Amino acid sequence: MTTADVKACVFDVFGTLVDWRGGVAREAAAFLQSHGRSAQEADAFADAWRAQYQPAMQRVRSGERPFTKLDVLHRENLEVVLREFGIDAEQVEATELDDLNLAWHRLDPWPDTVDGLARLKSQYIIAPLSNGNVRLMIDMAKHGGLPWDAILGAEVAQAYKPSPEAYLRTAEILALSPAEVCMVAAHNSDLAAAQKCGLRTAFIARHHEHGASQTTDLQPEGNWDWVAGDLVDLAKQLGV
Amino acid sequence: MTTADVKACVFDVFGTLVDWRGGVAREAAAFLQSHGRSAQEADAFADAWRAQYQPAMQRVRSGERPFTKLDVLHRENLEVVLREFGIDAEQVEATELDDLNLAWHRLDPWPDTVDGLARLKSQYIIAPLSNGNVRLMIDMAKHGGLPWDAILGAEVAQAYKPSPEAYLRTAEILALSPAEVCMVAAHNSDLAAAQKCGLRTAFIARHHEHGASQTTDLQPEGNWDWVAGDLVDLAKQLGV
């Protein structure tokens, strides 16, 4: 695949660029301990919170509710998870839950992420195409040093991936044809949706996104334009 | 005025951060010469092009036409200006006009702009709140090294300044109250509209935006929260 036509790389973020499970578990451990629970439950807490992610967005995609940004969905989902863990949300200060909700704003990048993005930025427009909202992406970028050219994604497009509008409106805002935009993700389903919209695709396996016993997205499962070991490898394949 | 509550600085761009007149005139001079005209007309050409700016946006603000991004308005306005200068747009290659239209993407920052933005970025979220569209702002940032945290403004808000929606939707996307956002501009009218929406305001005089004989916006004309000599001075006043 020639890189000649690609003008922008857009990125999935949770899992592809940052370690959401480790970051959320770290803050959940402190929260659980301060409420008389074991820090050992933190990974399960992070997984349970993430398990509410797709169903919450599905209610927006289906039209059941108007577009609602991810910070709001995460905060609602947090109360669901607290119930699952037998913690009475009414007995916790709202400000403490609001702060725990911001764990998603403080996720750490994978070791190769910042270097890879900086390389790609030298030749391409780089922007997140995440379901995370703009403020979440800004805070995460300031926390981890992600050198974005712009913050795009679900909130700007007013549509959640994998809805086609999320990809197509992002290309339109960039004033590019879909084929001039490369979607970079660690999730085959994201790339499949992007490819259907005419975007180029790059797969990066993240074998530990879901912990040591991960079973999904270990391999490319489609005819992706590029498959890379990490973001620095992808930059090299894309000529920078 | 205390800076304690300000979390983000948002910026007017054309005139406040970059020299639109010098940049457009530079490219117009080359264009005019290649069409048998004098480079001496370049400043007047830039002024004539800019004179079409507010009327074109007013047709969007009034609801006469749906939101249309500035690149499209600039391209339409260019044909108006060519007629004013007696140049037959039909006789010019469309690609040449498209390229001249991108002069707005290649404007140079004022000498203090990049340093001032970098200082402010260390403590505040910084983003353009310009009527320029996202791609225009991305290209300009890459051209001039403007270190934005995010690209906001008219296209993301789907409203042109000074419509209140442009300011209020920007604060909403930042998940901030208007009083936590400081509008930075060299234009008193922009600050007046922002102040009406509850934003903080900072005025920076740019005495040569319109050339040596500029008569407008030489002084602050409202009760702005900060008045600074340039962007580095503003950063110092804001504690960085």
| Residue % of chain A over a pLDDT of 70 | 100
Sign of CA dihedral A231, A232, A235, A237: negative
What is the mean pLDDT of the segment spanning B158-177?
98
| Residue % of chain A over a pLDDT of 90 | 97
Closest by Cβ to B149, choosing from A133, A142, A152: A142
The verdict on a CB contact (< 8 Å) between A134 and B71 is no
- B70 lies within 8 A of chain A by CB: no
pLDDT over threshold 90, residue A193: yes
* pLDDT value of position B227: 98
Tell me which chain A residues have a C-beta less than 8 angstroms from the C-beta of B148: 149-150
The verdict on a CB contact (< 8 Å) between A141 and B134 is no
- B217 lies within 8 A of chain A by CB: no
Q: List C-alpha distances in Å: A82 to A55, A56, A224.
A: 17, 16, 39
Eight-state DSSP code of residue B18: B
Question: What chain B residue is nearest to A69 in terms of C-alpha separation?
Answer: B173
The verdict on a CB contact (< 8 Å) between A149 and B134 is no
A4: confidence class by pLDDT, cuts 50, 70, 90: confident
* pLDDT value of position B123: 97
Task: For B179-209, write each residue's pLDDT tens digit.
Answer: 999 999 999 999 999 999 999 999 999 999 9
What is the mean pLDDT of the segment spanning A82-94?
94
Task: For B130-141, write each residue's pLDDT tens digit.
Answer: 999 999 999 999
Closest by Cβ to A149, choosing from B71, B141, B155: B141
Please choose, from the candidates B127, B115, B125, B139, the residue with its C-alpha nearest in 3D space to the C-alpha of residue B166.
B127
Task: For B143-152, write each residue's pLDDT tens digit.
Answer: 999 999 999 9
Please choose, from the candidates B207, B235, B173, the residue with its C-alpha nearest in 3D space to the C-alpha of residue B16.
B207
CA-based angle B229:B234:B236, to the nearest 5?
A: 115
CA dist B191 and B10 (Å) reads 11
What is the mean pLDDT of the segment spanning B52-78?
97
* pLDDT value of position B135: 98
- A73 lies within 8 A of chain B by CB: no
Sign of CA dihedral A153, A155, A159, A165: negative
What average pLDDT is seen over chain B? 97
Please choose, from the candidates B237, B20, B5, B45, the residue with its C-alpha nearest in 3D space to the C-alpha of residue B136.
B20
CB-CB neighbours of A147 under 10 Å: 12
Q: Which residues pair with B166 in a beta bridge?
A: none
What is the mean pLDDT of the segment spanning A65-79?
98
pLDDT over threshold 70, residue A1: no
Q: List C-alpha distances in Å: A220 to A1, A216, A224, A226.
A: 16, 10, 8, 10
What is the mean pLDDT of the segment spanning A40-53?
97
Closest by Cβ to A155, choosing from B134, B142, B173: B173
The verdict on a CB contact (< 8 Å) between A135 and B173 is yes
CA dist B219 and B222 (Å) reads 9
- B71 lies within 8 A of chain A by CB: yes
pLDDT over threshold 90, residue A3: no
B3: confidence class by pLDDT, cuts 50, 70, 90: confident
Q: List C-alpha distances in Å: B151 to A50, A104, A202, B86.
A: 28, 21, 25, 37
Chain A, 143 to 172: residues with Cβ < 8 Å from chain B are 148-152, 155-156
pLDDT over threshold 90, residue B4: no
What average pLDDT is seen over chain A? 97
Question: What chain A residue is nearest to B133 in terms of C-alpha separation?
Answer: A173
Tell me which chain A residues have a C-beta less than 8 angstroms from the C-beta of B123: none
The verdict on a CB contact (< 8 Å) between A125 and B142 is yes
Q: Which domains does chain A have, with CATH numbers?
A: 8-19+107-237 (3.40.50.1000), 20-105 (1.10.150.240)
> The tokens of A85 are what?
């863990």
* pLDDT value of position B1: 57
Reported ipTM: the value is: 0.96
Residues 6 or more apart in contact with residue A206 via CB below 8 angstroms: A15, A16, A110, A186, A217
